[in-house]
Amino acid sequence: MKTNRRFGQDLRFYYNHPRQFRQRTFNLQNSSFRALHLGLIALLALLVATVACSSGSDRPTRRQPTRTRQPTRAARLLSMAQTQKVARVEPTRTTEPTATRLPTLTPIPTAADTPTRHNTLVVPGSPTPKIAAAQESHESVPATEQPTPLPSATNTRAPNAALLVDAQCEPTVGGEVGLLGAGGWEGRAPESHPDLNLAVRGYREVDAFRGLVDYDGETDGNAPQLWGLFADRRTPEITHTYQVYDWDWGSNSHGDPIQDFDVTMVGLRFSEGETIYTPDFGHEIGEGYVALVLYADTHRITIKYTGEDNVIDGYTLHLEGLCVYSNLLNLYNERHAAGRGALPALRPGQAIGYSPGAEIGVAIRDRGAFLDPRSRKDWWQGR
């Protein structure tokens, strides 16, 4: 209380005597002055501290980034080995190259490439055909004690006026004919060979079903298709049916008519002057060709669907009563005179002659055996 009264007195003295008050109050020895100034200093320090705290709380704390310790070289190499995993790839095994097989002129036929001979005729009223036997050599055909006499000209040549095997043929030139090497010639003159010249065997007309017939058994999808004889690939009318004569190789003479099938040759209807073409085949025998000409004269031709100069393996086609194109016939005669090292070769659908009349005789063989040319599953597939 005493101090407060003294402080009040000083204030009144200051207002009444300001100059004198300054002289008296600024005396550092004065206890009132010291107390006043200490209070002001403490108040000022409190304000400064308050402001500092306030400004410090508003400013976000800045964190110093932590310095990353650089790994050693060994650690880096270990890290790279762990992170970069390389998949182990087995070395590719290089296959040994195989030699490209060149097309041969004598492809070896297999059972799948030839129609089966174990056929069962399913045409009502027709007798069951026997199994055909190939007649490649005289060992495969037993000789008879008394060979059948040579058939008459009436039987050898068809007893009808439709099959013209002596017609007058005009010297007509066909297209270009190529050549392919051939092997397997037996050395026998082809004009007297009963496997090459069908006229040597001969044939006779028989009364049999004149249409396509169905047989049981396997089918060769590569067999020659006889509708390829025609430009329009039609299924023609069968005008006559024939049986080809067997051959007695022991006595080198005619035998009885082949009875393995009711029919072993057919007469197909052609228009006079109509062009005759090479039936297609499922395989080439070389350079785009499908067949060789094993024999040809003015009125007949024998075509073989392999590169062999014989009828032992593969398909053989005999055509009777046509006019063979003169350039094809002349080339065949030239190659035969030169030793038959190469023979005329035919492409699928190549023209080989024309029909001088209304019928062409057609016989087809497999491995030497005469088959039924009416068989739908073999020679007229899809018809």
| Cα 321 to Cα 164: distance, rounded to the nearest angstrom | 5
- Structure-derived torsion over alpha carbons of residues 95, 97, 103, 106, reported in degrees to the nearest 10: -80
pLDDT at 245 (0 to 100): 97
- For residue 264, tell me if it sits in a domain: yes
pLDDT at 20 (0 to 100): 60
Q: Where is 354: in which H helix or E strand?
A: strand 351-354
pLDDT at 192 (0 to 100): 95
DSSP string, 69-127: PPPPHHHHHHHHHHH-PPPP-PPPPPPPPPPPPPPPSSPPP-GGGS--S---B-STTPP
| Cα 265 to Cα 271: distance, rounded to the nearest angstrom | 19
Confidence of residue 317 (pLDDT cuts 50, 70, 90): very high
| Cα 3 to Cα 23: distance, rounded to the nearest angstrom | 20
- For residue 256, tell me if it sits in a domain: yes
Higher pLDDT among residues 152 and 184, named by residue: 184
Q: Do residues 177 and 327 make contact, with C-beta atoms less than 8 angstroms apart? A: yes
- For residue 91, tell me if it sits in a domain: no
- For residue 311, tell me if it sits in a domain: yes
Higher pLDDT among residues 51 and 294, named by residue: 294
pLDDT at 218 (0 to 100): 92
Report pLDDT digits (tens) over 192-208: 999 999 999 999 999 99
Q: Do residues 226 and 236 make contact, with C-beta atoms less than 8 angstroms apart? A: no
* Counted domains in the chain: 1
- For residue 206, tell me if it sits in a domain: yes
- For residue 41, tell me if it sits in a domain: no
| Cα 97 to Cα 209: distance, rounded to the nearest angstrom | 56
Tell me the pLDDT of the chain averaged across its residues: 77
Containing structural domain, residue 132: 111-379
Contacts of 179 (CB under 8 A, 6+ apart): 331, 335, 342, 343, 344, 345
- For residue 136, tell me if it sits in a domain: yes
pLDDT at 122 (0 to 100): 41
Task: List residues bridging with 148 in a β-sheet.
Answer: none
End-to-end CA distance of the chain: 145
Report pLDDT digits (tens) over 89-128: 455 554 454 444 444 443 333 333 333 333 334 443 343 3
- For residue 3, tell me if it sits in a domain: no
